[in-house]
Amino acid sequence: MAQVLGGLSDDLIKSLEQGFRGNLIRPGDEGYDDARKVWNGAIDKHPGMIARCTSTEDVVAAVNLARDNGLTFAVRGGSHSFPGNSTCDDGLVIDLSGMKKIDVDPATRTVIAEGGVTWGELDAATQAHGLAVTGGHVTHTGIGGLTTGSGIGHLMRKLGLTSDNLLEAEVVLADGRVVRAAADENEDLFWGIRGGGGNFGVVTGFEYQLHELAGPLLAGLVFYDAKQGREFLRFYRDWADTLPDDITTIVGYMCAPPFPFVPPEVVGQPGFAVVMVCQGPHDVAEKAIKAARDFGPPLFEMIAPMPYVAVQQLFDPALPPGTKAYLKSNDRTGYSDACIETILDNCARMKPGHCQILLFQLGGAVARLPEDATAFAQRSAKYMDAYIAIWEDEAEKDEAIAWSRRFWEEMKPHARGTFNPNFDGDNEPAAVVAQAYGPTKYARLQAIKAKYDPGNLFRLNQNITPR
Ligand SMILES: Cc1cc2nc3c(=O)[nH]c(=O)nc-3n(C[C@H](O)[C@H](O)[C@H](O)COP(=O)(O)OP(=O)(O)OC[C@H]3O[C@@H](n4cnc5c(N)ncnc54)[C@H](O)[C@@H]3O)c2cc1C
């Protein structure tokens, strides 16, 4: 009789081994505990096997095995899913982290990258040619989940979302077929993978349009005392409206980190930071920064010319792998006085040293594409919030999560929408996902799901139920 290891029988494992060129990692194997770790330290799952793929053929073999044997399985790109959608207990993890090829073509300003590439890797390769595409704010996040979930980043107001720059993709479907998705082929699938998450298949290759981004960017942050919060947020809402698309800002509420540029007496003090990344002419940026400085003396600031790859690393120390985290997200069209009061109340309830509040500025190129250009559902929002609960001790977990959820609930009256597939700590029920996309988009997503994955094989995600 077949021996069962972590839910997968020896016979099944043998059938995958034939022709599989990557690594098959099983419980008890050397490296298993490292291989099963995901970014979110609160997720501790034990897959029956991790199939670390090295090619599209490996992915096809793994998908076929999972489908034919009814296995629970997860698709893993960079492993940064907040709710832990890239791992599972007992079943199979289709791990793309062995698929790292990156091919930049400076002549056409395009890059083709395999599904296991992270943003740090992609940025380094494209910046070698003075080129870039909008990427995530943290270098170790995967291009896979981020792009299929839409992708917001420091360059988005000028260059659009990551997924707005996707030219084509290679996708392994539920039936094992490998197809190209682009504006001229399988265009419904191409529409769906730009904001609909990993619902339709495994994207093994992404081709992006790159843009010239040579020379240093003026970037950094200005940090204000929490006591100035009300005046600062009122100033910010007017100032943000005046900014050119070259400048993207994020408001953060956090404790001053122990970095060299932070005066020692301020370290640990809560306050509001405005993070700015300016990719245009430095004199335009200087003018905008001067206005922020003129608002009132900050506790400290750090604005300097820096290479794009350094800009991309700014948030890395705040969110290292292994962070125990949960988050909820709303999007908004503005900062009314009442909205500012709700933000202030909830910031005041944040446990010092824990949690982070990030209020991203959208608009610019993101808002210029028509609403139905892709599956992304937040083009008409001007801001997107992330209420990130972080804890170390298990004993603090419930309180941290309750803080994030209360923030989210209390902000709902000021929100335009209450969900982004990349920024949700839960796997929401179908009704919530449907409401987030709106009836027209959700119906279109359901039809695409029904065509490409009628049996809902790909379901460890913010799931769209096939129509
Ligand atoms: C520290 C941190 C920083 C972040 N910063 C940003 C940010 O700046 N901008 C932003 O938009 N989001 C950001 N996010 C959210 C992030 O985009 C999502 O969590 C995203 O899903 C992560 O992608 P991944 O490949 O690393 O994750 P994974 O956990 O590997 O995958 C997440 C989901 O995507 C699916 N998936 C992954 N790869 C593929 C693929 N190749 N084909 C099909 N499906 C796939 C998985 O099955 C899973 O459902 C951040 C998250 C973290 C933890």
Q: Render pLDDT for 151-201 as a digit per residue (tens, 0 to 9).
A: 999 999 999 999 999 999 999 999 999 999 999 999 999 999 999 999 999
Q: Is residue 149 lining ligand 1, measured as CB closer than 6 Å?
A: yes
State the closest ligand 1 atom to the C-alpha of 86, by its place in the atom list counted from 1. 29
State the closest ligand 1 atom to the C-alpha of 420, by its place in the atom list counted from 1. 11
CATH of domain 102-213: 3.30.465.10
Average pLDDT, the chain: 94
Determine what percent of the chain is predicted with pLDDT higher than 90.
85
Mean pLDDT, residues 76-81: 98
User: Which two three-digit tokens encode residue 230?
Assistant: 């009300």
Residue 141 alpha carbon to ligand 1 centre in Å: 6
Q: Alpha carbon of 176 to those of 38, 114, 202, 403, 451: distances in Å?
A: 26, 18, 10, 43, 14
Q: Report the alpha-carbon distance of residue 399 to residue 393 in Å, rounded.
A: 11
User: Which two three-digit tokens encode residue 271?
Assistant: 């306050």
Q: What is the pLDDT of residues 356-412, one digit of tens each?
A: 899 999 999 999 999 999 999 999 999 999 999 999 999 999 999 999 999 999 999
Query: Looking at the chain, which residues constitute the CATH 3.30.43.10 domain(s)?
Result: 4-95
Q: Is residue 76 lining ligand 1, measured as CB closer than 6 Å?
A: yes
Q: Report the alpha-carbon distance of residue 122 to residue 101 in Å, rounded.
A: 10
Q: Is residue 460 lining ligand 1, measured as CB closer than 6 Å?
A: yes
Please tell us whether the domain made up of 217-414 is placed in CATH 3.90.25.10: no
Determine what percent of the chain is predicted with pLDDT higher than 70.
98
Q: Which residue has the higher pLDDT, 289 or 220?
A: 220
- Categorize the per-residue pLDDT at 342 as very low, low, confident or very high, splitting at 50, 70 and 90: very high
Q: Is residue 82 lining ligand 1, measured as CB closer than 6 Å?
A: yes
pLDDT of residue 460: 95
CATH of 4-95, one of 3.30.479.30, 2.40.10.10, 3.30.43.10, 3.90.1150.10: 3.30.43.10
Closest residue CA from atom 53 of ligand 1: 80
Q: Is residue 420 lining ligand 1, measured as CB closer than 6 Å?
A: no
Query: Looking at the chain, which residues constitute the CATH 3.30.465.10 domain(s)?
Result: 102-213
Q: Is residue 141 lining ligand 1, measured as CB closer than 6 Å?
A: yes
State the closest ligand 1 atom to the C-alpha of 151, by its place in the atom list counted from 1. 11
Q: CB of 95 within 8 A of CB of 26?
A: no
Residue 3 alpha carbon to ligand 1 centre in Å: 34
Query: Looking at the chain, which residues constitute the CATH 3.40.462.20 domain(s)?
Result: 217-414
- Categorize the per-residue pLDDT at 4 as very low, low, confident or very high, splitting at 50, 70 and 90: very low
